[in-house]
Amino acid sequence: DTAVSQTPKYLVTQMGNDKSIKCEQNLGHDTMYWYKQDSKKFLKIMFSYNNKELIINETVPNRFSPKSPDKAHLNLHINSLELGDSAVYFCAAVSGREQYFGPGTRLTVT
Amino acid sequence: LAKTTQPISMDSYEGQEVNITCSHNNIATNDYITWYQQFPSQGPRFIIQGYKTKVTNEVASLFIPADRKSSTLSLPRVSLSDTAVYYCLVGDRGFGNEKLTFGTGTRLTIIP
């Protein structure tokens, strides 16, 4: 079984659209993160989410919003997509100091 | 905010030991050092973690000097399947760790 899964794996969309990326974990961990990996392969944390408490990296535009319908899911909603949003997005489930990453979603904004 | 610096790339032959160093001069007292491995089109995968001195597991060793301003990931007897990008991550374990800082990553290429 895949510990952390993401859908879709690829997402191509036009500027101005609103899209969502889903993340599911079957590890039972309380904390989940969303990361953005840009074309230079820099990994930057966007959000931390734990038991309905959300901590946002202050550099993340408010067009991005995580939504957690239950403990196993942390979805990422993006409004009014921009060209600069093109990147690979990873979610991770956290246990102690160890993170379990999903396979990533490659978002391309045209 | 502990910024990390790693070599951009390294090459090594199969069967050799590979050492990748990460500099983190501003590491805080509560920060741990974690190394991740990333293959193309996959998410990073945990390799090893430590706070000080030496840590060893079945795949790698991690050496941390007393001042903790750097760390070295050691991969024994590498094989072609070890070709990947290796990231150094410095941060504490707390929730809300929105300031987790990954290094720039080291692209390791193993040569047959």
Is the pLDDT confidence value at B5 over 80? Answer: yes
Sorted by sequence, the CB contacts under 8 Å of residue B70 that are 6+ apart come out as B21, B22, B23, B24, B64
pLDDT at B90: 87
Nearest Cα of chain B lies from the Cα of A49 at a distance, in angstroms, of 7
- B22-62 tens-digit pLDDT: 999 988 888 889 999 999 989 999 999 999 999 999 999 99
Rg of chain A, C-alpha, whole Å: 13
**Which amino acid belongs to residue A77?**
H
Note whether B95 contacts A57, CB cutoff 8 Å: no
Nearest Cα of chain A lies from the Cα of B107 at a distance, in angstroms, of 11
pLDDT at A9: 96
- How far is Cα B69 from Cα B77, in angstroms, rounded to an integer? 26
- A51-79 tens-digit pLDDT: 778 877 778 899 999 998 888 999 999 99
pLDDT at A79: 97
Note whether B105 contacts A48, CB cutoff 8 Å: no
Burial class of residue B33 in the structure, from the number of CB atoms within 10 Å of its CB (0-12 exposed, 13-18 middle, 19+ buried) = buried
pLDDT at B8: 94
Point out the residue among B36, B85, B98 whose CB comes nearest to the CB of A55: B98
Band (pLDDT 50/70/90 cuts) for residue B95 is: low
- Tell me how many helices (H) and strands (E) chain B has: 0, 10
Task: Give me the residue label for tokens 């202050």.
Answer: A58
pLDDT at A39: 85
pLDDT at B25: 92
Total length of chain A: 110
pLDDT at A1: 61
Q: With contacts defined as CB-CB under 8 Å, which chain B residues touch A55? A: 95-96, 98
- Return the SS3 of B77: coil
pLDDT at B2: 60
Is the pLDDT confidence value at B111 over 60? Answer: yes
Query: Which residue ranges of chain A lie beneath pLDDT 50?
Result: none
Band (pLDDT 50/70/90 cuts) for residue B94 is: low
pLDDT at A96: 76
Is the pLDDT confidence value at B98 over 90? Answer: no
